[in-house]
Structure 1
Amino acid sequence: MVERTVGTTPPRVMTIAGTDSGGGAGVAADLRALAACGVHGCVAVTAVTVQNSVGVTGVHTLPPEIVAAQIETVATDIGLDAVKTGMLATTPIIQAIAEACDRTGIGGDGPTPLVVDPVAASMHGDPLLADSALDAYRTVLFPRATVVTPNLDEVRLLVGIDVHDRAAQYEAAKMLHALGPRHVLVKGGHLAEDTDICVDLYYDGHTFVELPGPRFATGDTHGSGDNMASAIASALARGLPVSEAVVLAKRFVIEAVRNSYPLGAGHGPVSPLWVMHPWWRDPG
């Protein structure tokens, strides 16, 4: 019998999100990104979606107590170095997550950073969040968040600003920060005035930092927000400050979009697998 080599346990990051049966977003995208970032991914599923590259045709939410139990059973045994959220679907689920986080030291003043990606709709425009849950994001989850990462559509729903230029992006960051998160990243992928670049805006309550990147001529950007939040959580799990984590995550997502691929008849996913060494081709 060959003696095995015992590896070093990597940082542990949980995604609290819904499934995507097409594999482009949700927990599937999160776990790919977490693995590519070198961390161990754990999962608390909030909802099951019937989804492919064209759209979402069905959603089944899990009982809030089951969502909370997934978080607590992992946190109290395996331990968590960071947590990120995705599709949370309903107010009762958000409330259950917040209570589970309080009990396990996630977010707020606890030791485990919490990255909140306030997913409200799929990239096809299909709703993934009950309207009543927007207030739960604002009043329950944002005050516990280490960093929030909304896109411009989510900004409009959360703080009522249509961001059409850089000045409005700055104003939105300030309004989001006033809701309680320690840090804000307003993603600029949907900003029409930026034709050649994509500028995400980071704000810590005192300082703004613009994070520019190239704008690629592709519609295959499914799961880009999941990858961004997962990469931030992975960097935080390694002990990096948020200001450095968002810079690294931006670089990670740029390459993920650069290496995106077509899938099905609709929008293909971004690919975090650009970081993987092709060991199956070159065993050396």
Structure 2
Amino acid sequence: MNNVVWTIAGSDSGGGAGIQADIKAMQSFGVHGCTAITALTAQNSLGVEAINAVSTDIIESQLLALEKDMKAKVIKIGMLANVQQIQLISEHISHYKAKWPVPPVIVYDPVAIASSGDLLTEEDTVSAIKECLLPLVDVITPNTHETQLLTGVYLIGPAAIKEAANKLLSWGAKAVVIKGGHWDYPSGYCIDYCINNFTQKGEEYWLGNEKIQTPHNHGTGCSMASVIAACLAKDYPLKDAFILAKAYINQGLKVAVRYGEGIGPVAQTSFPTNLADYPQVIEAGSWLGDELDFDVPLDFNMAADFAPCESKSLGLYAVVDSVDWLEKCLQQGVKTVQLRVKNKDDAQLDELVAKAVALGEQYNAQVFINDYWQLAIKHGAYGVHLGQQDLENTNLAAIKNAGLRLGLSTHGFYEMLRAHNYRPSYLAFGAIYPTTTKDMTGQIQGLEKLFKFVPLMQSYPTVAIGGIDLKRASQVAKTGVGSVAVVRAISEADDYVQAISALQAAIN
């Protein structure tokens, strides 16, 4: 019941876009798609020959039937053919938001122009969209043509993209995804932009990849919005929904085939499992970041391709908060340990890191220091572990030049792809389960996602962390992850020696 998604949109008789594309894309991500049809278009691969708007009475009958028995977690809205339809849909959405026990998330794809160039909405609908619908929308997903039509901002560069997105936010939308398939800037690349006030206030995401040269791209906009809707229904954060939708479209464009004599549809495939289909997360200091005129901080120290670990399989990975626990683990044959200490003064930290490094050398083990990269460099540690929030204020070049390994935490697909920019020594995925060691609200990944993370990042040693105990360790290991990190499973065990032995057996 939680994975019901409605699509309120037009029917494409050619099968490439609209309702037809929506259902196929949603099915690819494991949600159940329900439909309320707003228009019956007569179209084929050569273009749109007629738009037959459905009466508001018929649309309302569809919505009432669905509401009675199959309430949606997410509602995706596509083509609305006239002002009366916009007003009707807005009234119903307003009711759902106010009256349903769990208000639905609204994803609006403002279909204005098809890939063939045909106008798909009446000219007087724009003001109705702004006044009635946008204040109810959680995520709006226009392409560049639709963005210009709605905002009047000509998208000549990144600053104009942000200006247009902020206009849409000012009219009520909580998040904006601007699809860049029609925006050739920089030349030969496809750049997509998202600003998120829906779940992460003011957070921006830029994605980029080389343009995929195919004429057969009908339905890309509908499909991308539908994947975003499906991912949100499965409680993926918006930034993950954004990057997965983009990867899905890239995958479909690469295998799209021609049906008819004109523009063929993007292929509706499956969950994207090939890293080559994923876009790059664009950051300051990268080539695409420079092309987009991103500001680079004065103390920016980007680095990539860090020293490798000895093996892709790091085994049992103990995360401890003291040198005593670190030594106990090493004595029991644990070969990968992280020292994670908090609330110590500088002198204490210096001493702790020095002792940890010495113990690592004594037991020929891989000891990582959490956060304190300067001390790790000073004392010649094996490696450093950082969270994503640490990347912007860490001298990564200094870590690399010192020959230290770098482990990075990731929470979801977007952060995984961002970490991939740095080519670290290993990637940690978490939290797999809820944990009491830190607040991971909204960041629980679960085994379903871990099964997808591991093959995507198969070139790295991979680590699963978060809420893993003996009972769960063997299940986690079955995903193919190279290491299982534990915190409380050792330090809070009645017999830590037996716990370590049992955990190693479960993982192996």
TM-score, length of structure 2 as denominator length: 0.51
**Residue 210 (str. 1) matches residue 210 (str. 2):** no
> How much does 1:275 deviate?
4.5
Q: Is the 8 A contact 2:107 2:225 kept in 1?
A: yes
Against the structure 1 CA distance between its residues 77 and 199, is the aligned structure 2 distance closer, same or farther, given a 3 Å change threshold?
same
The residue that corresponds to 1:247 in the other structure is 243
From 128, 131, 137, the equivalent of 1:145 is 137
Query: Does 1:12 pair with 2:4?
Result: yes
Taking the aligned partners of 1:243 and 1:138, their CA distance within structure 2 comes to 25
Which residue of 1 is the match for residue 118 of structure 2?
Answer: 126
Q: Partners of 1:167 and 1:108 in 2: how far apart?
A: 39
Identify the residue that residue 52 of structure 1 maps to in structure 2.
Answer: 44
CA distance in 2, matches of 1:192, 1:246: 20
Q: For the aligned residues, what is the CA RMSD?
A: 2.1
CA distance in 2, matches of 1:14, 1:131: 26
For residue 23 of structure 1, the aligned residue among 11, 15, 31 is 15
Larger Rg: 2
Structure 1, residues 174-219: CA drift from partner, whole Å, max 9, x if none?
A: 1111111110001111112233321110002412210113311111
Shift of 1:65: 2.5
Q: Which letter maps to 1:252?
A: Y
- Aligned residue number for residue 191 of structure 1: 183
The 3-state SS of whatever aligns with 1:267 is: coil
- Aligned position for 2:215: 219
Whether 1:97 and 2:89 are equivalent positions in the alignment is: yes
What runs of 5+ residues in structure 1 fail to find an aligned partner?
A: 1-8, 277-284
What's 2:60 paired with?
A: 68
Equivalences, count? 269
Q: Find out whether 1:168 has 2:160 as its counterpart.
A: yes
Tell me, which stretches of 5 or more residues in structure 2 are unaligned? 273-508
Shift in Å, 1:26: 0.7
2:97–2:104 contact (8 Å) kept in structure 1: yes
Q: C-alpha deviations, 1:85-108, integer Å up to 9, x for none?
A: 111111100110111122233899
2: CA distance, partners of 1:68 / 1:192: 40
Bigger mean CA offset, 239-248 vs 114-123: 239-248
Provide the rounded CA distance (Å) in 2 between the counterparts of 1:106 and 1:21.
35
Counterpart AA for 2:265: P
Distance between the aligned counterparts of 1:232 and 1:107, measured in 2?
Answer: 24
Separation in 2 of the partners of 1:62 and 1:121? 19
- Indicate yes or no: 2:232 matched with 1:236: yes
Letter in 2 for 1:170: K
Q: In 2, are the aligned partners of 1:108 and 1:146 still within 8 Å (CA)?
A: no
- CA deviations on 1:51-74 (whole Å, 9 max, x unpaired) are 000101111101113212212311
CA shift, 1:110, in A, is 6.0
Is 1:268 aligned to residue 264 of structure 2? yes
Deviation at 1:126, TM superposition (A): 1.2
Residue 272 of structure 1: SS of its match in structure 2? coil
Contact 1:36-1:273 within 8 A present in 2 as well:
yes
Q: Which amino acid aligns with 2:220?
A: S
Q: Does 1:177 align with 2:169?
A: yes
Q: Within 2, Cα distance between the matches of 1:132 and 1:108?
A: 31
Is the partner of 1:268 in helix, strand or coil? coil
- Does the aligned pair in 2 maintain the 1:107–1:145 contact within 8 Å? no
Q: Following TM superposition, by how much is the alpha carbon of 1:10 offset from its aligned partner in structure 2, in angstroms?
A: 6.8
* Cα pair 2:248 2:270 within 8 Å, conserved: no
Higher relative contact order (CA 8 A, sep 6+): 1
